[in-house]
Structure 1
Amino acid sequence: MRLILMRHAKSSWDDFTQPDHSRPLNDRGRRNARALGAWLRSNDYLPDKVLCSTATRTRETLDLLELGASVVYPEDLYHASPETLLRSLQGASGNTVLILGHNPGIGSFASRVVAHRPDHPRFGAYPTGATLVASFDIPRWADLSLNSGTVDAFITPRDLAEQP
């Protein structure tokens, strides 16, 4: 089984009166989301199921990834805790699941779900667009336990911008 944990791309703060849930991506966030989608496709990290927060910025990130997977929008993924993310994943179907969410929950869950953290200077901060790909030797998500995943990849939009 494979898990992709992604924090939404960079959101806009142009309108400070806008409710947090409604904030869209900014221009950089839209560029980064497209680049992350290209990276996922080029590395064959293609989900067959997506669990996505209902927030505007997560939905927009997902649309720009252009992955074509089946999507579910659980209400409790908006600013979800690591415990909520674990429960959601344990109830998921699909061999490769993408969870698209928010910090601090998504970054904390990423740290807790793998046996060994990747050697990347930005992993602890889990910046916008940060994406962890991890594999698990389990037959179904219901059997998932913390500290059991093997890191396949970890990347940030800045890493993609620095690649030739």
Structure 2
Amino acid sequence: MALGDDKKTLFLLRHAKSSWKNNNYLPDHDRPLNKRGQKQGLKMGKLLKELNAIPEYVVTSTAKRAVDTSNLIVESSGYHGRIDLDPSLYHQTSADQFIKTLNNMPDIYTRVLLIGHNPSLEVLIKKLTNREEIMKTCSLAQIDLRVKSWKDIVCEGENMIIGSLVNIWHPNLNEK
């Protein structure tokens, strides 16, 4: 299938660097970003704007660090659309859960950003592209999917290889 009208663009973003202060008292779900993470989030939002790759729809994990990252992306990218919170994308979720979330995307959106956690994001990249990649904090991956509909992404087998990894950007310059 040729890319073109039969293409969806998926951006995957790992949440920015979180704070481990008060780790004994704070549940994992409630950890905020640290100062470095705040800078990372703003930087990656600016990158989306510079690339003219602002998503049409954003879905994020409900973890505070992921929600905070999404807010920074919105602030610095100029995104004005919906941000949906999806508790199923939190922490130890499987890559298949991300696929189920994608299957529920309205097809009017051709460019979607999911914000989540490792190792799920790395496993999802492997499933979709057959590429093993490292998603450091606030890393952004772009995958072009050869599908007409988000529903065409199915959980069959270990690697579905329906996408091409366009690039992975890291918030630290010159870092692959």
* TM-score by shorter chain over 0.5: yes
The one-letter amino acid of 2:46's match is A
CA-CA distance at 1:111 after TM superposition: 1.8
Q: Indicate the residue corresponding to 1:104 in structure 2.
A: 119
The one-letter amino acid of 1:92's match is M
CA-CA distance at 1:6 after TM superposition: 0.6
Task: Say if 2:51 is the partner of 1:43.
Answer: yes
- Match among 76, 91, 98 for residue 85 of structure 1: 98
State the TM-score, normalized to the length of structure 2. 0.83
CA-CA distance at 1:104 after TM superposition: 0.9
Q: Indicate the residue corresponding to 2:5 in structure 1.
A: none
| Alpha carbons 2:58, 2:83 under 8 Å: kept | yes
Query: Larger Rg: 1 or 2?
Result: 2
Relative distance call for 1:48 and 1:112 in structure 2 (3 A) is: same
CA-CA distance at 1:53 after TM superposition: 0.3
CA-CA distance at 1:46 after TM superposition: 1.3
Q: Indicate the residue corresponding to 2:135 in structure 1.
A: 126
The one-letter amino acid of 1:112's match is K
The one-letter amino acid of 1:142's match is K
Task: Say if 2:81 is the partner of 1:69.
Answer: yes
Runs of 4+ in 1 over 3 A off after TM superposition: none
The one-letter amino acid of 1:95's match is T
The 2-side partners of 1:137 and 1:107 are apart by 19
Give SS of 2:98's match.
helix
Percent identical across equivalent pairs? 29
CA-CA distance at 1:124 after TM superposition: 3.0
Deviations 1:55-81 (A, max 9, x none): 100010000012222121122111221
The one-letter amino acid of 2:39's match is R
Q: Indicate the residue corresponding to 1:157 in structure 2.
A: 171
Q: Indicate the residue corresponding to 2:12 in structure 1.
A: 5
Gaps in structure 2 of 5+ consecutive residues: 1-7, 155-159
Count of matched residue pairs: 155
Deviations 1:35-93 (A, max 9, x none): 00000111011111111100100010000012222121122111221010111111112
Q: CA RMSD of the aligned region, Å? A: 1.5
